[in-house]
């Protein structure tokens, strides 16, 4: 999983999965490739010179190996890994070229949280009932939560990636973009070998160095993987029980899951005068307050009249689906900070746990095309907002800036960019959105 630092790559990778993967073997053995498969491309060291003082890759690698030894890695593990510690410019190019797609939430969730994946999740919970029960008892993480990540990240082991891990890690460590991070990840991979969990040639996964059926980066693998099948190894590529226990351990202790609490729940907004500016993950109100504001369950039943804090999440603005996001939803956004991915993962978990399908918008929700979102970001930057990279991707910073401008112009402040907002920021039209109905 690409956690916070790899959200975009994760969603892009997941989008490429085929539904046919569900018919593949449940726990496939990893594809083994000889080191020659990762033979290094010609090293272009101009990028590396700035952060490695002009060191060649060979000199950099020697220093990295010495750092690993100082960190407790044995010479035996380094010798085993050395044939794989080669530079691959193609991996660096791929890292720099990754792009997010502009798919709308209901389309992405419709494919990724499809009924077959929900059914597979429920079947896996039955198949591995003992491991799931143990994980819930020890870590407090419900089976549906684990199963949803398992399904989304690799289709339960059918799509773990087929590239040698060590060349990817060391190439990204030599590149300057995230050098320190991937140096640490490379050393963590060496520690996994040293501990006896995986051999160097078993380390096969995604192009960015993630391993196993829930796609752990090596540091997460080393720190959170547990031996749940009792064979003395932590094998997240082939052992279902190890995958379940390790994923639960990471969610509970790495992502601070709150035992016994909900994560995401679909709701409906019924009040015509709803204060849309309150719909934000940074705004937390008791359920009783949301009920007073006109929020109900999808079937019209009233919300629980209690003090459980929650945020109102509108992944497609006020005309799309609505959810109450509880404290545990933070675990999803930490796992992957893409709002589309994290909301889909939470929704899939709720479906596996027995929730009905989400309500569909009564009419298509208009979405600005990529080039117009990028143009809107440029206008927002000129207006003094920090939207991060102007890239046509509607991230949290862009959504916050959109909300601020909606408030300024008197539009319903639901953080969803509209043609009316773009026209107003272009200075070529007056707002018309304020007169639109506010009820979903």
CA 406 from centroid of its chain's CA atoms: 28
DSSP secondary structure code for residue 281 in this structure: T
Single pTM value for the model: 0.87
pLDDT for 47 equals 54
In whole angstroms, give the CA distance from residue 24 to residue 27.
Answer: 9
Q: Tokens standing for 394? A: 């509607």
Under a CB-based contact definition with an 8 Å cutoff, are residues 12 and 23 in contact? no
Angle at 340 between CA 351 and CA 157, to 5 degrees: 60
Q: Where are the beta strands (DSSP E) in 47-185?
A: 163-164
Which residues are CB-neighbours of 67 under 8 A, at least 6 positions away? Answer: 183, 187
What secondary structure does DSSP assign to 312-357, as a single string? EE-BTBTTS-EEEE-TTHHHHHHH---HHHHHHHHHHHHHHTTPPP
Q: What SS3 class is residue 73?
A: coil
Q: What is the largest CA-CA distance in the chain?
A: 71
* Digitized pLDDT (tens) for each residue of the chain, 440 residues in all: 644 344 433 433 333 333 333 333 333 333 334 444 444 444 544 455 578 888 999 999 999 999 999 999 999 999 999 999 999 999 999 998 766 556 789 999 999 999 999 999 999 999 999 999 999 999 999 999 999 999 999 999 999 999 999 999 999 999 999 999 999 999 999 999 999 999 999 999 999 999 999 999 999 999 999 999 999 999 999 999 999 999 999 999 999 999 999 999 999 999 888 999 999 999 999 999 999 999 999 999 999 999 999 999 999 999 999 999 999 999 999 999 889 999 999 999 999 999 999 998 888 898 899 899 999 999 999 999 999 888 888 888 899 999 999 999 999 999 999 999 999 999 854 444 443 444 44
Of 219, 168, 214, which is closest to residue 189 (Cα–Cα)? 219
Say what the pLDDT of residue 49 is: 54
Nearest to 177 by CA among 94, 289, 253, 239: 94
Residue with tokens 């589309």: 340
H/E run at residue 323: strand 322-325
pLDDT value of residue 99: 60
How far apart are the C-alpha atoms of 166 and 80, rounded to whole Å?
Answer: 11
Q: What is the rounded distance in angstroms from the CA atom of residue 386 to the CA atom of residue 388?
A: 6
Through-space distance between the first and last CA atoms of the chain, rounded to whole angstroms: 33
* Residue 279 confidence (pLDDT): 95
Tokens encoding 192 = 């996994």
Rounded CA-CA distance 440/281 in Å is 19
């Amino acid at each position: 999983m690409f956690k916070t630092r790899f959200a975009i790559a994760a969603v892009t990778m997941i989008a490429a999965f085929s539904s046919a993967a569900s018919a593949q073997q449940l726990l496939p053995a990893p594809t083994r490739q000889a080191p020659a498969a990762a033979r290094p491309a010609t090293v272009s060291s101009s990028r590396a010179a700035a952060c490695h003082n002009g060191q060649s890759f060979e000199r950099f690698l020697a220093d990295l190996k010495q750092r690993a030894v100082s960190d407790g890695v044995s010479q035996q593990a380094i010798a085993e890994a050395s044939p794989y510690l080669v530079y691959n410019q193609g991996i660096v190019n791929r890292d720099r070229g990754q792009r997010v797609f502009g798919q709308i939430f209901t389309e992405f969730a419709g494919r990724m949280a499809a009924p077959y994946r929900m059914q597979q999740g429920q079947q896996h919970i039955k198949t591995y009932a003992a491991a799931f029960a143990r994980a819930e008892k020890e870590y407090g993480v419900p089976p549906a939560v684990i199963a949803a990540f398992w399904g989304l990240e690799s289709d339960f082991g059918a799509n773990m990636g087929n590239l040698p891990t060590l060349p990817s890690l060391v190439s990204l460590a030599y590149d300057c973009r995230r050098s320190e991070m991937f140096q640490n990840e490379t050393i963590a991979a060496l520690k996994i070998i040293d501990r006896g969990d995986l051999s160097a040639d078993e380390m096969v996964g995604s192009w960015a160095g993630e391993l196993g059926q829930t796609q752990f980066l090596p540091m997460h693998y080393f720190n959170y993987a547990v031996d749940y099948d009792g064979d003395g190894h932590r094998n997240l590529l082939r052992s279902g029980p190890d995958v379940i226990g390790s994923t639960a351990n990471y969610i509970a202790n790495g992502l601070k899951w709150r035992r016994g609490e909900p994560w995401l729940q679909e709701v409906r907004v019924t009040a015509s005068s709803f204060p849309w500016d309150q719909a934000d993950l940074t705004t937390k109100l008791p359920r009783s307050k949301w009920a007073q504001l006109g929020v109900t369950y999808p079937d019209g039943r009233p919300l629980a009249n209690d003090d459980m804090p929650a945020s109102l999440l509108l992944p497609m603005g006020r005309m799309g689906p609505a959810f109450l996001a509880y404290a545990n939803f933070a675990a999803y956004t930490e796992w992957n900070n893409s709002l589309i991915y994290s909301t889909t993962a939470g929704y899939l978990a709720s479906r596996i746990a027995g929730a009905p399908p989400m309500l569909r918008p009564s009419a298509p929700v208009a979405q600005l095309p990529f080039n117009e979102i990028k143009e809107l970001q440029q206008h927002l930057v000129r207006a003094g907002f920090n939207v991060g990279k102007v890239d046509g991707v509607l991230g949290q910073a862009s959504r916050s800036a959109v909300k601020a401008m909606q408030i300024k112009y008197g539009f319903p402040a639901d953080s969803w960019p509209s043609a009316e907002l773009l026209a107003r920021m272009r200075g070529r039209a007056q707002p018309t959105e304020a007169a639109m109905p506010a009820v979903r």
